[in-house]
Amino acid sequence: MKDYFSKHRSSDEWLIKEHRWDKKLQPSRESQFALGNGFIGSRGIMEEVPFDARPGTYIAGLYDKTGAQVTELVNLPNPINLKIISGGERLGAGTMDILHHERALDMKHGLLTRHTIYRNSHKKRFDYQSLRFVSMRNKHIIAMQVCITPLDEAATFTVENLLDLSVTNVGFLTEGNKKHFRVEGVSQFDTGEYLAVKTLEKGMLIAYGKSMIIEKGHSSRFARHVTTQIKLRKNQTACITTIFSIFTSDNKDTKKIKPVVKGFLRKSANMGFERILKEHIASWDRLWQASDVRIKGAPHDERSLRFNMYHLLICGREGNGESSIGAKTLSGEGYRGHIFWDAEIFILPFFLYNRPNVAKNMLLYRYHRLNKAMQIAESRGYKGAMFPWESAATGEETTPAWAKNFDGSLIQIRTHEMEHHVTADVAYAVYQYYVATKDIRFMLKCGFEMIFETARFWASRAGYNPKIKKYEIKHVIGPDEFHEDVDNNAYTNSMVYFNLMAACGMYQKMKRLYPKEYRRLSKKIGLKKGEVGEWKRIIPRIALNLKRNGLIEQFDGYFRKRKVKLRNLKKHPIPPIPRSIKLKDVGKTQLVKQADVVMLLYLLPDKFDIKTKKKNFYYYLKRTVHKSSLSAAVHAAIAAEIGNIKMAYRYFDVAANMDLTLLYGNTDDGMHAASLGVTWQAAIHGFAGMKIFNETLSINPRLPEAWKEISFCLKWQGYNLKIAINHTKVNVQFYSKRKDFLKIKVYNILRKIEADKAYNFPRKRGG
Amino acid sequence: MKDYFSKHRSSDEWLIKEHRWDKKLQPSRESQFALGNGFIGSRGIMEEVPFDARPGTYIAGLYDKTGAQVTELVNLPNPINLKIISGGERLGAGTMDILHHERALDMKHGLLTRHTIYRNSHKKRFDYQSLRFVSMRNKHIIAMQVCITPLDEAATFTVENLLDLSVTNVGFLTEGNKKHFRVEGVSQFDTGEYLAVKTLEKGMLIAYGKSMIIEKGHSSRFARHVTTQIKLRKNQTACITTIFSIFTSDNKDTKKIKPVVKGFLRKSANMGFERILKEHIASWDRLWQASDVRIKGAPHDERSLRFNMYHLLICGREGNGESSIGAKTLSGEGYRGHIFWDAEIFILPFFLYNRPNVAKNMLLYRYHRLNKAMQIAESRGYKGAMFPWESAATGEETTPAWAKNFDGSLIQIRTHEMEHHVTADVAYAVYQYYVATKDIRFMLKCGFEMIFETARFWASRAGYNPKIKKYEIKHVIGPDEFHEDVDNNAYTNSMVYFNLMAACGMYQKMKRLYPKEYRRLSKKIGLKKGEVGEWKRIIPRIALNLKRNGLIEQFDGYFRKRKVKLRNLKKHPIPPIPRSIKLKDVGKTQLVKQADVVMLLYLLPDKFDIKTKKKNFYYYLKRTVHKSSLSAAVHAAIAAEIGNIKMAYRYFDVAANMDLTLLYGNTDDGMHAASLGVTWQAAIHGFAGMKIFNETLSINPRLPEAWKEISFCLKWQGYNLKIAINHTKVNVQFYSKRKDFLKIKVYNILRKIEADKAYNFPRKRGG
């Protein structure tokens, strides 16, 4: 049988495959095989939509609350819904026997291909091949091609292609399934069909266009109805090409949307599938050219890492802050598509060094919701801006206040009341963005204001305790959510320290270098010198919990919690909670859900020396159960830094394959976005040792034994760097149109390098 | 708590109730609680559409094939879809705790009422009451009223009422779920909403209108959006009234349908719910006035019988033959809504004697498809008209040719190839209709032609065997489908005998009394005297298999099949197939699936004397496993006739409660239509002993001991009869505007009775 799509398929190291259809794995595969372009996210369902498939079509930033406890990412009508029927039997998993089946996600070009051989009840076989993609070139396009061939005798097929309106959002226990849209309009164009739906709460319009062309031999025709007949001789092939377009009223005036869709569809039909595909592939080639990480000697690691990067690339969006990236990307409905600190701390760095405009978009998302953050602060009696723990369209707090357990009991959710570090995390990301991009325009328009308003929040949030002469931050939850309502969480307090430091530094800088803009801003937000003076007073007095023995106490009283030692960590890098401890009592013990102090070591690398890092890492490692996807890769990065490469490699392996091995059992409701991002960080910040110390890019690699070489690109302050690292040297080069130089640290030695020149820095012996 | 709908609720003997919500029973309850008016059938789902509910909205005669092996009754968009949400929790089974729950189907007035008390996760209670109906007065209306009251504190509700487009037809193994419609148009009226869908195969348009009014205290308002907010104080009640209208392009020109819906909706809104309800109730009162059967002394039997009659009444339709009644009524998708011999033989008699226009409609359904029946005959090399074993919209054969077993094996279905008796069954029904109504207009327009064309078919179907000097009908399946491809099935051959006899009789009558119409018809169908002569030759020579010992052999060679005796029939009126016999071998035994010879005894009562009936009844009873819902009530009727009242009562009980006890395990896909009809027959033809002998109405009752009196109405040859029977006498009266008389037989004595006069005929001692 001819393989129709082999010409588009990349080599094996770029492919994630399934070799058989497994009903149980279906929902996870749909997440893994998701396609997207930052605007549209589309779950990797099979085109025939088998009985228990979970179609998911999401648009970044498009939320609706109707029928739900809190607003959620809307599951929109599903375009991928191609029913092919012959003799009353549907070509589909569950309806025909499957003699052969393979699907491959081509990560290089964002293509999902499939080859299935079906056998019907009368033992006649049909060859089925498909290719589909969500265009990376034009964010409004989804395209699909399906080739069918009867292998044993002539056959007549009914092809049905309805935009599937049956879709609902997954039901939570107390909500049931929710439909977030209603049909607003339908009509027929000469080249296809039109469907518009409106969200129920906010009346957002989403308009679909669809055109289908059927090719058979040398003839081709538009399918002018949702059902069409195809007669094929034995071994004759028909090729069904469908192009979908999706627009929202965000993009276009409501009244104009229909002609826009119509025009767009005609244009796409004229362009043809092949050209749309070609442009899509070219866009992906450009993306990978700027982002790919190659690992010689470890093709498995390279592929896993790419899988993580692929899923980041399909949800990254350059824009004006319309949306950010949710905790499950756009590949599922987990966490209702909400934005957490995951966005700024775990996901943003990948984009910062590869697609800085996506990072900017994520920060603009926060900036455009700064007013809401100020309202949140005000409503709780604080000043400045307090970002919500969970954020969606408006920037209001969208954390559900409670959830119901299957046993009927009510779980109070307190993260939004107490997990305040997110506000410092956003400020941290703004600062990182500034350092990595030197994008002063962003800072003047948004960044300084964000840093000042967050600092202002913390100044009002911290309370001075005259007894110990410290500023304390009480009643918080740190990253480790096992311990609620704690005082002086080291992570939170240190991030506040950083936030205030950054604010003071930025204040000086802005006043000095941009006096006009400073005057405008200080007038706008009423910032006075005295307030900055207060920040300066607070900074040295923040309780940081660094004890004399070098140990950092996670929060006040942590050391007095019940000791529980986890064993066999070498065998089980992700240890189970000992059975003797009930889940409700876990807060009484020293067990830690995820990197907390270790997170701090990771985010503020120049605040601690190696000895302190080692001490704290091993101390908390023995207490951490990694019951969060945010934990493993951070441990990998720190383990690499302190020289325990074997352990680092083990945690990297866990993190990089998290959604391939279905480690947390909930890949079905979407990819773990934070882990995707921090896996890249573990490779680049951890093994390749690329870090920013005092605003200087530093490379201090410690590669796993198996890795012969790691090579990657970086964007740094407007330059494109190319870096290749092996066990003996670091090769660096950067590109610039002007004659230019850069100062970077390699193996802890500051080097000045010129543009367009390759440098080889050898590792010192024993270094 | 006030019971809002108690004023409309009938007394207990008219109610079928559920007292708790049982997820497992949900699909069966939906069938049992179905509402309808002959045009619309609507499954008794709960308004919130719980997770695994199976909404079903059907229009009689509306079939579509797309995606299915054979055409099927279309499951249309579901209007009953009211989501009420408070604080992110849905008032619904599965989403809130249920503290109290009761639903009642009021069979007297076709009302489904409900009272549920919900408790949310925060232990706050909500009172929920609902009433809904499918108007018996105006076939286009479905109406619903829901009252909600927060019992513990003030609450805000979001009410969402989307016409539910998610609906699909149930998937058969090889088909998967099928969607048979697409959205054609949506719009908003000032008093409500409009939605039109089109079926995929035939492009039939179905247009919905919807208007919703929300009343709270003394204020009321139209809900102008699909979602609306209601704020209520503690113990304050809001009442949500929704009126739906459904039109099809059958009723109206496609272009005119929208203004029709709009006008209709405005008119209905002006009328108001209460008046629509009042008229609906009045229509039901008229229906029962003409059809009710009262059984003194056995309220349980009376209620069960009414349950059967209720389900017949909601699918009976007066019309021009647009549709007939499918094997599962309009309450589910079993048998894909197809029309079998069940319609004419099992269902039609109820209507014949209660609503003759519905019976006429069922025969018109066949008449309008007579051409197709002639094509079927022709395609198989026969003459005349051969009705399809399964029939749907067009009258073509729609029996699926095969089905796939769960083990993957293929089951060949041969009923359409061989179960030819349906053609004689239709002719039989035409004859019965004529005798009971004397509707000569129907006969001249349709009936004679049907009887002649069916007779013509049989003349070509029967083959003369010179060896035995008999006309034989080979290669058939009788009612007993365990035995395929048999020769000279006694039932089939006797019905053919009847068909030919009727044709000869009708030929004489028509020629004599209606010579003009005869000439027109004989010219049209080319009927010549010689052909009738051939029928006359065949009649006495048809092989009838009545043996000398009085036993009727079910088919040639039946007596030589392996003997299997069923035991414990007194304990188990529906005996299991002995485990020693494999299902595939059942055709090699004498086991009979359902009444076959007994069916013959029943349908042709004056052909056999009591002795023959007794002999054959007991002989086959010991061999019949009743693996068909068509069997029990027929056995009840014959058992009553031969005087075994105890046994008759046992089979009546089985039949009358079949869909209440879920005997066959498939009530979830609809009510057993044939059993509904033949249960009524068992009561009236069996116990009340009302039969037609030689075109004379005869009453020869044999009541079960528990029944003190049975009283009922009958339509007979244009008169309304009222009959009351107890163990000692028969009371008869008939009504006529003219001075008139009737001849009927009571206790085997011919009586002449005058109109408007009550007669009491005492039972003879020992009679």
3-state secondary structure A102-163: EEEEECCCCEEEEEEEEECCCCCEEEEEEEEEECCCCCCEEEEEEEEEECCCCEEEEEEECC
Q: DSSP secondary-structure letter at B640?
A: H
**Which one has a higher pLDDT value, A542 or A764?**
A542
- What DSSP string describes A288-350? HHHH-EEEET-HHHHHHHHHHHHHHHTT---SSSS----TTTTS--GGGG-B-TIIIIIIHHH
Q: Residue for token digits 């966005």?
A: A343
Alpha-carbon distance of A279 to A286, in angstroms, equals 11
State whether A176 and B87 contact (CB < 8 Å): no
Residue A183 structure tokens: 């049909």
* pLDDT tens per residue across span A619-655: 999 999 999 999 999 999 999 999 999 999 999 999 9
Provide, as residue numbers in chain A, all residues whose Cβ is less than 8 Å from the Cβ of B227.
66, 200-201
Provide, as residue numbers in chain B, all residues whose Cβ is less than 8 Å from the Cβ of A227.
66, 200-201
Structural domains of chain A, count:
1
Residue numbers of A between 218 and 257 with CB closer than 8 Å to B: 226-227
Residue B752 structure tokens: 């002449």
Mean of the per-residue pLDDT values for chain B?
Answer: 95
* pLDDT tens per residue across span A204-240: 999 999 999 999 988 999 888 889 999 999 999 999 9
Averaged pLDDT, B321-337: 97
Residue B1 reports pLDDT greater than 90? no
State whether A121 and B177 contact (CB < 8 Å): no
Give how far B83 is from chain A: nearest CA, Å.
Answer: 8
Alpha-carbon distance of B504 to B540, in angstroms, equals 13
Averaged pLDDT, A40-61: 96
Alpha-carbon distance of A133 to A34, in angstroms, equals 10
State whether A92 and B176 contact (CB < 8 Å): yes
Alpha-carbon distance of B24 to B47, in angstroms, equals 17
Q: Read off the CATH number of the domain in which B224 is found.
A: 2.70.98.40
Check CB contact of B215 with chain A, cutoff 8 Å. Answer: no
Alpha-carbon distance of A729 to A713, in angstroms, equals 17
Give how far B123 is from chain A: nearest CA, Å.
Answer: 10
Residue B314 pLDDT grade (very low, low, confident, very high; cuts 50, 70, 90): very high
Q: Residue for token digits 């100044």?
A: A459
* pLDDT tens per residue across span A317-353: 999 999 999 999 999 999 999 999 999 999 999 999 9
Averaged pLDDT, B697-726: 96
**Which one has a higher pLDDT value, B422 or B249?**
B422
Provide, as residue numbers in chain A, all residues whose Cβ is less than 8 Å from the Cβ of B400.
88
Residue A422 pLDDT grade (very low, low, confident, very high; cuts 50, 70, 90): very high
Residue numbers of B between 177 and 206 with CB closer than 8 Å to A: 177, 179, 182-186, 195, 200-201
Averaged pLDDT, B560-567: 91
ipTM of the complex: 0.91
- Residue A345, pLDDT score: 98
Instruction: State which residues form the domain around B102.
Output: 12-259
Provide, as residue numbers in chain A, all residues whose Cβ is less than 8 Å from the Cβ of B48.
176
Closest partner residue to B175 (CB to CB) among A88, A176, A402 is A88
State whether A121 and B410 contact (CB < 8 Å): yes
Alpha-carbon distance of A400 to A44, in angstroms, equals 28
Give how far A500 is from chain B: nearest CA, Å.
Answer: 38
* pLDDT tens per residue across span A501-534: 999 999 999 999 999 999 999 999 999 999 999 9
Closest partner residue to B162 (CB to CB) among A122, A182, A201 is A182
Closest partner residue to B160 (CB to CB) among A122, A185, A200 is A200
Check CB contact of A68 with chain B, cutoff 8 Å. Answer: yes
- Residue A767, pLDDT score: 46
Angle between helices B370-379 and B448-461 (to 10 degrees): 10
Check CB contact of A99 with chain B, cutoff 8 Å. Answer: no
Provide, as residue numbers in chain A, all residues whose Cβ is less than 8 Å from the Cβ of B120.
174
State whether A160 and B89 contact (CB < 8 Å): no
**Single pTM value for the model:** 0.94
State whether A97 and B173 contact (CB < 8 Å): no
Closest partner residue to B67 (CB to CB) among A85, A166, A176 is A85
Alpha-carbon distance of A655 to A666, in angstroms, equals 14
Q: Which amino acid is at B337?
A: G
What amino acid positions of B are annotated as catalytic residues?
A: 481
Averaged pLDDT, B115-124: 96
Residue B323 has a CB neighbour count (10 Å cut-off) of: 27
C-alpha count within 13 angstroms, C-beta hemisphere, residue A34 = 40
Provide, as residue numbers in chain B, all residues whose Cβ is less than 8 Å from the Cβ of A77.
none
Provide, as residue numbers in chain A, all residues whose Cβ is less than 8 Å from the Cβ of B83.
67, 176
Closest partner residue to A95 (CB to CB) among B50, B51, B174 is B174
Bridge-based pairing state of the strands A696-699 and A741-746: parallel
B330 backbone φψ class: left, alpha, beta (φ>0; ψ -120 to 50): alpha
* pLDDT tens per residue across span A275-297: 999 999 999 999 999 999 999 99
* pLDDT tens per residue across span A584-631: 899 999 999 999 999 999 999 989 999 999 999 999 999 999 999 999
Residue B626 structure tokens: 């009743």
- Residue A687, pLDDT score: 98
Give how far A345 is from chain B: nearest CA, Å.
Answer: 30
Structural domain contains residue B177: yes
- Residue B755, pLDDT score: 93
Check CB contact of A174 with chain B, cutoff 8 Å. Answer: yes
Provide, as residue numbers in chain A, all residues whose Cβ is less than 8 Å from the Cβ of B183.
165, 183, 186, 195
A271: three-class secondary structure by DSSP: helix
Structural domain contains residue B49: yes
Averaged pLDDT, B56-77: 96
φ, ψ of residue B279 to 5 degrees: the values are: -70, -40
Q: Where are the beta strands (DSSP E) in B558-606?
A: none
* pLDDT tens per residue across span A676-702: 999 999 999 999 999 999 899 999 999
Structural domain contains residue A453: no
Q: Which amino acid is at A489?
A: N
Averaged pLDDT, A176-199: 91
- Residue A188, pLDDT score: 86
Residues in chain A: 767
Q: DSSP secondary-structure letter at B37?
A: -
Residue B376 reports pLDDT greater than 90? yes
State whether B88 and A173 contact (CB < 8 Å): no
Alpha-carbon distance of A366 to A386, in angstroms, equals 11
Closest alpha carbon within chain A to B122 = A410
Question: Mutate which of B74, B173, B183, B204 to disrupt the A interface (most A C-beta within 10 Å)?
Answer: B183
Averaged pLDDT, B667-685: 98
Q: Are the beta carbons of B171 and B240 closer than 8 angstroms?
A: no
Mean of the per-residue pLDDT values for chain A?
Answer: 95
Check CB contact of A468 with chain B, cutoff 8 Å. Answer: no
State whether B67 and A90 contact (CB < 8 Å): yes
Structural domain contains residue B166: yes
Closest partner residue to B166 (CB to CB) among A70, A166, A410 is A166
Question: Mutate which of A72, A168, A175 to disrupt the B interface (most B C-beta within 10 Å)?
Answer: A175
Residue A140 structure tokens: 């409004």
Provide, as residue numbers in chain A, all residues whose Cβ is less than 8 Å from the Cβ of B157.
none
**What SS3 string covers A414-473?**
CHHHHCCHHHHHHHHHHHHHHHHHCCHHHHHHHHHHHHHHHHHHHHHHCEEECCCCEEEC
Averaged pLDDT, B208-224: 92
Q: Residue for token digits 């391939």?
A: A660
Alpha-carbon distance of B630 to B634, in angstroms, equals 7
Residue B766 pLDDT grade (very low, low, confident, very high; cuts 50, 70, 90): low
**b/e burial code for range A170-195 (CB count within 10 A of at least 16 → b):** bbbebbbbbbbbbbbbbeebebbbbb
Structural domain contains residue A87: yes
Residues whose CB falls within 8 Å of the CB of residue A363, separated by 6 or more in sequence, listed in order? A321, A344, A348, A426, A429, A430, A433, A442, A446, A447, A450
Residue numbers of A between 534 and 593 with CB closer than 8 Å to B: none
Give how far B234 is from chain A: nearest CA, Å.
Answer: 21
% of chain B with per-residue pLDDT over 90: 90
Residue B765 reports pLDDT greater than 70? no
* pLDDT tens per residue across span B24-41: 999 999 999 999 999 999
Closest partner residue to A404 (CB to CB) among B121, B175, B410 is B121
Closest alpha carbon within chain A to B84 = A67
Closest alpha carbon within chain A to B403 = A121
User: How far, in whole angstroms, is CA B662 from its chain's centroid?
Assistant: 17
- Residue A736, pLDDT score: 84
Residue A42 reports pLDDT greater than 80? yes
- Residue B196, pLDDT score: 95
Closest partner residue to B121 (CB to CB) among A120, A179, A402 is A402
What amino acid positions of A are annotated as catalytic residues?
A: 481
Residue A520 structure tokens: 């405008």
State whether B175 and A90 contact (CB < 8 Å): yes
Choose among B165, B110, B161: nearest CA to B138: B110
Averaged pLDDT, A571-579: 87
**b/e burial code for range A711-745 (CB count within 10 A of at least 16 → b):** bbbbbbeeeebebbbbeebbbbbbeeeeeeebebb
* pLDDT tens per residue across span B129-152: 999 999 999 999 999 999 999 999
State whether A122 and B94 contact (CB < 8 Å): no
State whether B226 and A182 contact (CB < 8 Å): yes
B150: three-class secondary structure by DSSP: strand
Q: Are the beta carbons of B675 and B346 closer than 8 angstroms?
A: yes
Residue B251 reports pLDDT greater than 60? no
State whether B90 and A174 contact (CB < 8 Å): yes
Provide, as residue numbers in chain A, all residues whose Cβ is less than 8 Å from the Cβ of B160.
66-67, 179, 200
- Residue A765, pLDDT score: 63
Question: Mutate which of A78, A81, A96, A165 to disrupt the B interface (most B C-beta within 10 Å)?
Answer: A165
Give how far B105 is from chain A: nearest CA, Å.
Answer: 26
- Residue B239, pLDDT score: 97
Structural domain contains residue B608: no
Structural domain contains residue B19: yes
Residue numbers of A between 29 and 58 with CB closer than 8 Å to B: 48, 50-51
Bridge-based pairing state of the strands A141-150 and A219-222: unpaired
